[in-house]
């Protein structure tokens, strides 16, 4: 790790350097908007050269991905709060998914790649080990008793991957986010859920649909 610059306060290690770069990225996006931020603005904010930023992130897509993952916690907390009043497992999952489809493209940090059109690495970002683990953790934070529904650790990991693959299919086609995704999800997502341990709860939730 090189310590030149950093406004006289060099990071202690590479992890701290990456964290500071992400924090600078967030500050710059807040000031200028995601479409007007690149390595130049981030480097100026930190008091380092562009080459220093490139040493930790190979390109802007990689930095956007890292920033999105770092900002995911706040977005997920908001998602969980928005469905807190719901009780049916299938109802909760449909609403969470629909809100993610609707709100991610407008998120200044989590949805930065979508907002700026830097989507070349979107699939690898959404399906990365880190993103899948984050989704699995998020599912456990919802007001759903997964154990009572018969979900073990492996099945929950599979559900997390299924959700992320579905999310990618929606986000990769911007026109898909213009209409309310809930009817589609109720018609096709819920029957899929009913084929597994969530069957009884999902059937009860949407019996009248």
Q: Which two tokens stand for residue 168?
A: 């990618």
Distances (CA, A) of 94 to 20, 85, 142, 181: 36, 14, 12, 9
pLDDT of residue 178: 65
pLDDT band at 196 (very low <50, low <70, confident <90, very high): low
pLDDT of residue 194: 61
| Count of C-beta atoms within a 10 Å radius of residue 83 | 19
Averaged pLDDT for residues 167-185:
79
pLDDT of residue 1: 47
Mean per-residue pLDDT of the chain: 85
pTM for the model stands at: 0.75
19-66 tens-digit pLDDT = 999 999 999 999 998 889 999 999 999 999 999 999 999 999 889 888
Q: At 66, is the secondary structure helix, strand, or coil?
A: helix
Does residue 2 surpass a pLDDT of 90?
no
Higher-pLDDT residue of 67 and 120 is 67
Q: Tell me how far apart the alpha carbons of residues 60 and 87 are, in angstroms, rounded to a whole number.
A: 40
pLDDT of residue 126: 83
For the chain, the helix, strand and coil percentages under 3-state DSSP, each to the nearest 5: 70, 0, 30
Asked if 26 and 109 touch (Cβ cutoff 8 Å), the reply is yes
Q: Which DSSP category does 36 fall into?
A: G
Say which range, 19-23, 156-160, 174-178, 197-201, has the weakest mean pLDDT.
197-201
Q: Tell me how far apart the alpha carbons of residues 192 and 181 are, in angstroms, rounded to a whole number.
A: 16
pLDDT of residue 3: 47
């Amino acid at each position: 790790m090189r310590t030149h610059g950093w406004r006289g306060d060099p990071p202690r290690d590479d992890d701290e350097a990456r964290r500071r770069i992400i924090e600078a990225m967030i500050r710059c996006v807040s000031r200028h908007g995601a479409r007007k931020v690149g390595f130049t603005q981030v480097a100026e904010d930190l008091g380092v050269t562009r080459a220093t930023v490139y040493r930790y992130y190979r390109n802007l897509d990689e930095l956007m991905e890292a920033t999105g993952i770092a900002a995911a916690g706040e977005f997920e907390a908001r998602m969980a709060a928005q469905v807190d009043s719901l009780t049916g497992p299938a109802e909760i999952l449909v609403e969470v998914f629909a809100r993610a489809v609707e709100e991610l493209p407008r998120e200044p940090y989590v949805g930065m790649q979508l907002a700026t059109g830097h989507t070349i690495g979107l699939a690898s970002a959404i399906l990365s080990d880190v993103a899948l683990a984050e989704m699995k953790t998020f599912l456990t934070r919802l007001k759903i008793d997964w154990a009572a529904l018969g979900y073990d650790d492996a099945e929950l990991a599979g559900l997390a991957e299924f959700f992320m693959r579905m999310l990618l299919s929606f986000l990769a086609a911007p026109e898909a986010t213009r209409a309310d995704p809930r009817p589609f999800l109720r018609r096709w997502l819920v029957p899929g859920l009913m084929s597994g341990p969530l069957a009884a709860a999902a059937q009860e939730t949407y019996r009248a649909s």
